[in-house]
């Protein structure tokens, strides 16, 4: 084979090796990104399971504590001796109704608890089927107090559940949407909008005050205000004044830090 042909073959082989090496490196980089993403997802799932476990433990502990306390109060406060001779029966009925409320909460959340409480009220309006006579006003008042205590505890538990759901792991860079920068930067890209946001960071302002601040008129000014409102940086209050939001404050703090650095 001629020397020049051999050199061409060697060059072609070298080129193919370089292409293969580049493709291999790209595949390894892609694999590394996928592995990191999988790792982050697994960690988030694990943290989510831990939060759910902590919530369930707190929920059960709180409701059991309220039930134990209610049983003690019912046993201590219901009339003894009972004028209707059904003290233990009343205690058992009241405790059963409270326990049914907790079961409804476990099954359907706070909506189920509210439905159960309404059901309790309907049952107590008439003659309870398990009792010979309706409970006396003193015992009913004691029960309603305990029912209210249980309802308040359920609301606290539900508030904790909402916080647990909202508590998320930090957002990772690879999960940021492509339009994230545009959504944050575009509303501030006009000097008048940034000028308004700086002033709103100090105090709320009315439309007339923003007009005097920017020198813009009518629809032109409204266009720029709506840009800030739709981006979530500014909100309009019931008294028609404009106020910076927490998101707006966060953006201004970030800009300030970047400018200082």
DSSP 238: T
User: Which phi and psi angles does 206 have, rounded to 5°?
Assistant: -85, 170
What's the pLDDT score for residue 40?
A: 61
What's the pLDDT score for residue 84?
A: 84
For 168-234, the DSSP string reads -PPPPGGGS-TTHHHHHHGGGSSHHHHHHHHHHTTS-EEHHHHHHHH---HHHHHHHHHHHHHTTSE
- Residue 188 · residue 198 · CB < 8 Å: no
What's the pLDDT score for residue 157?
A: 76
- 162 CB neighbour count, 10 Å cutoff: 10
What's the pLDDT score for residue 19?
A: 65
Fold of the domain built from segment(s) 181-260: Arc Repressor Mutant, subunit A (1.10.10)
Q: Residue 123: is it exposed, middle or buried by C-beta count within 10 angstroms (0-12/13-18/19+)?
A: middle
The ranges assigned to domains in the chain are 50-166, 181-260
Per-residue pLDDT of the chain (261 residues; tens, 9 = 90+): 565 666 676 677 677 666 666 666 665 656 565 566 666 666 666 666 666 776 677 777 878 888 888 889 988 888 888 888 888 888 888 888 888 777 777 666 666 666 666 666 666 655 455 666 777 888 888 888 888 888 888 777 777 666 665 555 455 556 667 777 777 788 888 999 999 999 998 888 999 999 999 999 889 999 999 999 998 899 998 888 999 988 888 888 888 888 776
pTM for this one? 0.45
Residue 76 tokens, joined: 């201590």
């Amino acid at each position: 084979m001629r020397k020049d042909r051999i050199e061409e073959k060697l060059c072609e082989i070298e080129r193919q090796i370089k292409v293969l090496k580049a493709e291999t490196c790209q595949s390894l980089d892609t694999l590394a990104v996928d592995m990191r993403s999988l790792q982050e997802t697994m960690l988030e799932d694990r943290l989510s399971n831990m939060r759910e476990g902590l919530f369930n433990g707190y929920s059960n502990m709180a409701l059991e504590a309220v039930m134990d306390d209610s049983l003690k109060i019912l046993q201590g406060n219901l009339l003894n001796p009972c004028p209707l001779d059904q003290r233990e029966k009343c205690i058992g009925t009241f405790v059963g109704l409270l326990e049914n409320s907790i079961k409804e909460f476990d099954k359907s959340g706070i909506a189920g608890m509210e439905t159960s409480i309404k059901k309790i009220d309907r049952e107590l309006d008439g003659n309870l089927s398990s009792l010979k006579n309706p409970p006396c006003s003193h015992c009913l008042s004691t029960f309603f107090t305990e029912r209210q205590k249980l309802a308040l505890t359920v609301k606290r538990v539900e508030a904790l559940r909402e916080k647990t759901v909202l508590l998320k792991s930090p957002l990772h860079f690879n999960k940021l949407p492509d339009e994230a920068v545009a959504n944050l930067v575009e509303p501030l890209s006009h000097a008048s909008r940034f000028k308004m946001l700086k002033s709103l960071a100090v105090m709320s302002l009315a439309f007339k005050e923003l007009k005097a601040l920017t020198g813009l008129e009518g629809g032109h000014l409204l266009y720029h205000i709506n840009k800030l409102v739709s981006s979530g940086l500014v909100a309009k209050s019931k008294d028609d004044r404009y106020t910076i939001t927490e998101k707006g404050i966060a953006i201004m703090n970030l800009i300030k830090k970047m400018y200082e650095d």
